[in-house]
A and B are shown apart, each in its own frame.
Chain A
Amino acid sequence: MPNSARRRDRLVGLFAAGALAFNPPLLNLFHGTVFGWPTLYVYIFGVWGLFIAALALVLERGRGPSRDEGGDPQ
């Protein structure tokens, strides 16, 4: 599979995971506090951070000197 197509698929997968994680009903599972911190706050920012890390991994790994015009997604 070409690099760009694989990357596109990964991004779509990430989007789906993020859309699920950042919305009810998963969101409603988190309430109250954990170790005194609001669980919801910890959950959202934690998942957000992981999401961005995954995004960075997907986007930066595909970068290289070989990647030029041909790397455009179709």
Chain B
Amino acid sequence: MSAPVVVAAALVYLLLLFAVAYAVEHGRLRAARITRSSLVYTLSLAVYCSSWTFNGGIGRASEAGIDFLPIYLGPTLALTLGFALIHKMLRVSRANRITSIADFIGARFGKSTGLAALVTVIAVVGLVPYIALQLKSVSTGLDVLIARDPSAEAGAPVLADGALWTAIVLAVFAMLFGSRSLHPDEHHPGMMVAVALESILKLVALTAVGVFVVFGVFHGFGDLFARGAAEPGVRALYGHGGLMRGIDWTATTLLAMLAFLCLPRQFQVTIVENVDRRHVDRALWLFPLYLLAINLFVLPIAIGGRLILPEAADPDSLVLTVPLTAGQPVLALIAFLGGLSASASMIVVEATALSIMVCNDVVMPALLRWRALGLAQRADLTRMLLWVRRAAVAGLLALGYIYMRSDSTGYTLVSIGLMSFVAIAQFAPAIVGGLFWRGATKAGAVAGISAGFVVWLYTLFLPSLAISDFIPPAFATDGLFGIALLKPYALFGLAGLSPATHSFFWSMLANVGAFFSVSLVTRPSALERAQATLFIDAFRFDDAAQIWRRTAYLPDLMSLAARFLGRERADAAFAGWARNRGVDPATTLHADAEMVLFGERLLAGVVGAASARVLVGAVVKEEPVGVDEVMRILDETSRLIEANRRLEDKSRALEAATAELSQANERLTVLDRLKDDFVATVNHELRTPLTSIRTFSEILRDHPELSTEQRADFLRVVVGETERLTRLINQLLDLSRIEGAQKPVMTAIDLGAIVTDSAAAMRQVFATNRVVLEISVPAEPLPVMGDRDGLIQVVVNLLGNAAKFSPADRGRVRLAVYASGGEVELAVTDNGPGIKPADRDIVFERFRQVGDTLTDRPGGAGLGLAISRGIVVQHGGTIWVEGAPGEGAMFKVRLPRALSAGDSDAPAAAAE
């Protein structure tokens, strides 16, 4: 096939992709809506399948059979287990506007610029071989299609170097997609759609070649496998076994799991470009399905290639050479475009992700701190940011190209890719530990990542260059300084594993060991603790970063944002935020802590968390961290606070209980005294009549000479005192019954009827005392819930008192019942001496009588009113006395009215 045709096809395809992306980003595509679907999200995750899958996987399968698969089983398992992890990363990244893996790790460990820069450097160094892999596979593909002998290239002029042109074209392509403009959230919908389309083409191309091989070249799977089984060399591909191979398999699965979660491009598509968290749920099974589909034909193509091609054929370009050999150049061209898609999507996304990291976490922090540049004062930095990113993309591709040139003969695609995987997996302990382990510290993360990286350099990266002349080959074969124990591929004598597994084991040992041990012996700073809480409790704190009491002049903050985002975007962002909070940015001068935080996160989306913190630090007045606030955020402390608060609550409750107890004690003391008084009074009250009865009886016994008249007089006194004694005992019984809280049976009764009955019973008493009794009872019934006998006793008591205290002959007592609001009132008024205001409460106490008890004892023990009050209280009512002294007393009783008037008469009447 002629070179111009192949190159033109490749260029047209790339331009077409760019056109689609451009249309999507500018809303020209009617189907732009689908760009926000879970399908596009899933397909963009398939950026995982790079040239490694497309060309390298088949090469690997043709040499080692099923061994190409752990790289895809790993992500399948990682997604299953990482469900919670991915959701947590999404939540954290969204809340903190994290836009790269370096930003993520840096932000977790106290917004550390140094750690983020370290992660970036490792990612760049680790991924350079991976990028080289893509370039190598595209340029090899070009050579195969154009049927040029790659070995002749060494003497050819640089301009004829296909790989260089590939690198340049892909670099431009990556810049066009990834760093054409700045977005605060780093969303690139155009890029995502392009990647999704490329993923479809990858799958279609590989499946087409597979179907052709199985059904075009051979007669179906059965034929293909049967003929493969006939060849001993191919039959070996069908099996799997051996301890070391098993360890390699498991280690590669684990490696792929970790790398899938930590690769910058996977972070970009999974976390940063995610527009809807529910897409993750769908992608969790749809993406493994894609992996299964794209790998279905890998082994058949590999077996087919082994059967129809000579031994010496390059295993990594089987997908092209098989159709070419079978006379299908168009199919080969489609396969080439599929491989180009795989490379291009990987390079575009990886370069975009890495350029964001390089720009935000290395270059910008350095430039901003370099005061001589005066960058911090520049008005508009958006253009500069973009150029830094473009330069980073160009630099990455250049490094990839240089690596490829220096390593062009040494390795297969898969072993180069695995090298990058091991480097990237070094981030996994810090990420997983950082998300779930509160004790992880920045020092631990730095130690772990550095240790793992150094081991990786020694056991995998440097030897890969040693084979290719940069470093003497003896380093790889004999070890450093010729010491056998230090052989890079068999460190400390650990031989028999593949280089990648070997390096994975040692680097992870160093990484995890250093991460845990250093974390355990160091203490996190306040900021680290606060960030740890934000990450670990991502689902508990929605927006909890109010630890820093920072204020700023709003114009300062806005102009800072404008410099990095552009005036319009910054204004729009602030306006949107202010609208949600009900603040008017036009009239606000001071930005509070929340607004400052918003500004910082806005900036973090563009320049990374660490840089944003430095930038915002320049315009804010930062008060020292309030101890209270930090305490509130930190969980272990907040648990302490919680316990403390509970303790305080308890002690407060205890205090309250103590107070209640002492009150009860006081009451008890009073009651005890009252009881003593009561007993003494009762004693006295009982003794007085008893003494007089005894005295008079003794006189009657000892003096038979007394006259009949005298005897009659004395006997009358004895009878009177006996009656008084009986009355007293009856009243005491009444009182104890009432105070014993034996609630009488309550029925609905008419108070009017009770009053009438009581008055009738008392008529004789009034007649004897020569006092007039007037009664006023309304015609309608006044229903109350009550005990008939009790209420009659109350009325009789009151009337008895009134009759007693009213002057004879001119005494007038008025008894009235009437409705008063929702209640019923009863009033007994007399025109006696009345009761002094000071005595009005006392009269209701037991044995209390107003006035001179010696001269004025009209036959009562002073229990009547106490009993009455007890009965009224039992009925839920109140009793009190009114009236000025000298004008007579007015006793009032108020009882709640029964709800229904209908059922009031009948029981009352029946009880008569």
Query: Which A residues fall within an 8 A CB radius of B?
Result: 8, 11-12, 14-15, 18-19, 22-25, 27-28, 30-33, 35-41, 44-45, 48-49, 51-52, 55-56, 59-60, 62-63, 72-74
Contacts and interface: CB of A to CB of B under 8 A. Distances in A.
22 contacts: A11-B83, A15-B80, A22-B77, A23-B249, A23-B250, A27-B246, A28-B240, A36-B222, A36-B225, A36-B229, A40-B66, A40-B240, A45-B292, A48-B73, A51-B288, A52-B285, A60-B282, A63-B278, A63-B281, A72-B277, A73-B83, A73-B87
A59 B282 contact: yes
Contact of A18 (B65, B76, B221): B76
B84 interface: yes
Nearest to A47: B73
B258 to A, nearest CB: 14
A33 B81 CA distance: 32
Interface string B213-253: 00000000110011011000000011111000010011001
Contact of B76 (A27, A33, A51): A51
A41 to B, nearest CB: 6
A32 B228 CA distance: 12
B285 A37 contact: no
B172 interface: no
Nearest to B229: A33
Contacts, number: 110
Contacts of B238: 31-33, 38-41
Nearest to B73: A22
Contacts of A30: 240
A66 B886 CA distance: 79
- Report which residue of B69, B70, B83, B284 has the largest number of chain A beta carbons within 10 angstroms of its beta carbon: B83
A55 B229 contact: no
Chain A at the B interface: mostly helix, strand, loop or mixed?
helix
A24 B249 contact: yes
Given A22-B73, A36-B229, A51-B76, 19 more contacts: A12-B81, A15-B81, A18-B80, A23-B253, A24-B246, A28-B246, A30-B240, A33-B225, A33-B229, A33-B238, A39-B238, A40-B239, A41-B238, A41-B299, A45-B296, A55-B285, A59-B281, A72-B87, A73-B84
Interface residues of B, number: 41
B308 interface: no
Contacts of B470: none
What 4 A-B pairs come out closest when comparing CB atoms? A24-B246, A38-B238, A55-B285, A56-B285
Interface in B270-299: 277-278, 281-282, 284-286, 288-289, 292, 296, 299
B567 interface: no
B76 A52 contact: yes
Nearest to A23: B250
Given A18-B76, A28-B241, A38 B285 contact: no
Contacts of B724: none
Contacts of A33: 225, 229, 238
Contacts of B288: 48, 51-52, 55
B91 interface: yes
Nearest to A54: B285
B226 to A, nearest CB: 5
A36 B77 contact: no
B244 to A, nearest CB: 11
Contacts of B250: 23-24
A43 B290 CA distance: 18
Nearest to B80: A15
Contacts of A62: 281
B437 interface: no
Contact of B239 (A11, A32, A55): A32
Nearest to A14: B80
Given A44-B69, A73-B83, A59 B284 contact: yes
A45 B241 CA distance: 18
Nearest to A25: B246
A28 B249 CA distance: 11
A50 to B, nearest CB: 11
A33 B99 CA distance: 49
Contacts of B281: 59-60, 62-63
A36 B222 CA distance: 6
A49 B76 CA distance: 11
Contacts of A41: 66, 238, 299
Nearest to B66: A40
A63 B38 CA distance: 14
B541 interface: no
A25 B240 CA distance: 10
A38 B226 CA distance: 9
A50 B277 CA distance: 25
B849 to A, nearest CB: 72
B249 to A, nearest CB: 6
Given A72-B91, A73-B87, A11 B81 contact: yes
B13 interface: no
A48 B76 contact: yes
A39 B221 CA distance: 13
Contact of A27 (B80, B91, B249, B278): B249
Given A59-B281, A73-B87, A37 B241 contact: no
A36 B225 CA distance: 6
A35 B253 CA distance: 29
B165 interface: no
A15 to B, nearest CB: 4
A31 B239 contact: yes
Nearest to B542: A69
A38 B289 CA distance: 21
A60 B225 CA distance: 36
A24 B226 CA distance: 26
Nearest to B78: A15
A48 B292 contact: yes
Contacts of A39: 238
A37 B81 contact: no
B360 to A, nearest CB: 28
Contact of A8 (B83, B222, B226, B277): B83
B84 A31 contact: no
B539 interface: yes
A44 B289 contact: no
- Report which residue of B226, B240, B249, B299 has the largest number of chain A beta carbons within 10 angstroms of its beta carbon: B240
Contacts of A38: 225, 228-229, 237-238, 299
A30 B240 CA distance: 8
Contacts of A60: 281-282, 285
Contacts of B240: 24, 27-28, 30-31, 40
Contacts of A55: 80, 284-285, 288
B253 A49 contact: no
B81 A22 contact: no
Contacts of A44: 66, 69, 73
Nearest to A30: B240
Nearest to A59: B281
Contacts of A11: 80-81, 83
Nearest to A35: B222
Contacts of A59: 281-282, 284-285
B71 to A, nearest CB: 12
Contacts of A40: 65-66, 238-240
B229 A22 contact: no
A38 B65 CA distance: 10
B94 to A, nearest CB: 12
A55 B81 CA distance: 11
A49 B237 CA distance: 21
Nearest to B300: A41
B296 to A, nearest CB: 7
